Amino acid sequence: MSSRRDPYLNEATSLVVKVGSRVLSDAEGRLDHQQVANLSRQIAQIYDRGLPVILVSSGAVAAGMGKLGLVQRPTDVSHLQAVAAVGQAHLIQAYEQCFHRHGRHAAQVLLTADDLDDRPRYLNVRNTLLTLLSMGVVPVINENDTVAVDELIATFGDNDRLAAMVAGLLKRPLLVILSDVAGLYDRHPDDPQATVIETVEQIDSKTMELATPHRSSVSKGGMASKLRAARLAVRSGSPAIIAGGRTPDVLLRIVAGEPLGTFFVPQARGLPPRKRWIGFTAQVAGTIVVDDGAAAALRRAGPSLLAIGIREVRGSFHKGDVVAVCDSSGCECARGLTNYSSDELAKIRGLRSPEIAQVLGHCPYEEVIHRDNMVLSD
């Protein structure tokens, strides 16, 4: 009997697996080598069946804590970085040993937000990952906690967002986020009546309300960050699944079509890779505030943004930067590549296109953001 997820599983040409610290750690906060072995075995078997796999793995700090005999996660940045440095070496060594038993190799790929923010570096990351997959290697991706101070404290979201960004680099990927819970529950997981929601057609405000804050000494993410990552993936046109990371053979069973966890249905019209980068990966350099008419037009039809609709410019940015477009209440309408710098926009805001040349001495673009370089927000 076919399920809602079968067509999407059959169309997937690659698998991105995100595994969190809680899934990889034992009760003492040390790296669980048996769990690493179980996941590696499943990934190798899936790879052998013709579906390339990228692994986005947390656990560097947790692995370092176990290696150094720490019982509590450090709170200051320098100690966190040091523990992550020790743990990352331990973590990738464990993966390499396990994959080698199954005829595969692990490739360590450490990323920061800047690596995906810059368009050329973003493409370099993509090319590297595709080459590794063509060689039959398993890329093991993690945030570079040893140098990225901001990401170590207020991170991508325990690698959840990073995994969704990585999925956005690929064609027809399936994103699987392995959690310490079996999926998204219809109420608090501690409630005896709670059940896992099998399928989510749309991630809206009601869906987000189901996320329960989760505290852990080794994990930085929670269900909210996983839902945000799933939303990013489905808006890009990729299906996503949140499932229990300690469910026996969870990855093999998911790929086989067993309805484990919660399946998130992708939007029918996924975004092309360039727009995925604009809308979900590149960091916003500034904000353009538009009037109510321009905001309504953007939400209704997504036309190009003209200077006449702009009321305020916030931040300092240059031509070609990604900026957020917000309404007067601060709600984001869209993101896009600006054709003008913040200084130029401050001079031409509210003007009609023919008036731009009178102020700037030239009018290289009629549009401040062309619709081809714009992604509408939820």
Per-10-residue mean pLDDT, the chain, length 378: 84 96 85 95 97 94 84 82 88 96 96 82 92 97 66 56 91 94 90 93 90 54 88 92 97 96 87 86 94 94 93 96 95 96 96 93 93 89
- Reading the block at residue 146, the tokens are 């040893």
Give the separation between CA 14 and CA 139, rounded to whole angstroms: 12
Superfamily, domain 6-275: Acetylglutamate kinase-like (3.40.1160.10)
Question: Which residue has 């909210």 as its token pair?
Answer: 224
Domain boundaries, the chain: 6-275, 284-376
CA distances from 347 to 186, 313, 314, 359, 365 (A): 51, 10, 13, 7, 15
- Reading the block at residue 65, the tokens are 């804590």
**What is residue 195's three-state secondary structure?**
coil
Give Cβ neighbours of residue 55 (< 8 Å, ≥ 6 apart).
17, 19, 39, 43, 95, 106, 138, 139, 140, 141
Give Cβ neighbours of residue 150 (< 8 Å, ≥ 6 apart).
113
Q: Which residues pair with 54 in a beta bridge?
A: 16
CATH classification (class only), 284-376: mainly beta
What's the pTM?
0.84
Give the separation between CA 62 and CA 68, rounded to whole angstroms: 10
**What is residue 105's three-state secondary structure?**
coil
> What is the greatest pairwise CA distance in the chain?
70
For the chain, give me the number of helices (H) and strands (E)?
Answer: 16, 15
55 touches 17 (CB < 8 A)? yes
> Length of the chain, please?
378
Degrees (nearest 5) of the Cα angle 132, 135, 139?
Answer: 30
109 touches 140 (CB < 8 A)? yes
Burial class (CB in 10 A: 0-12, 13-18, 19+), 162: buried
Looking at residue 1, what is its pLDDT? 52
Give the separation between CA 151 and CA 144, rounded to whole angstroms: 8
Domains 6-275 and 284-376 belong to one CATH topology: no
H-helix or E-strand spanning residue 163: helix 160-167
111 touches 141 (CB < 8 A)? yes
**What is residue 168's three-state secondary structure?**
coil
**Position 320: which residue type?**
G
31 touches 241 (CB < 8 A)? no
Q: What Rg do the C-alpha atoms of the chain give, in angstroms?
A: 22
**Position 296: which residue type?**
A
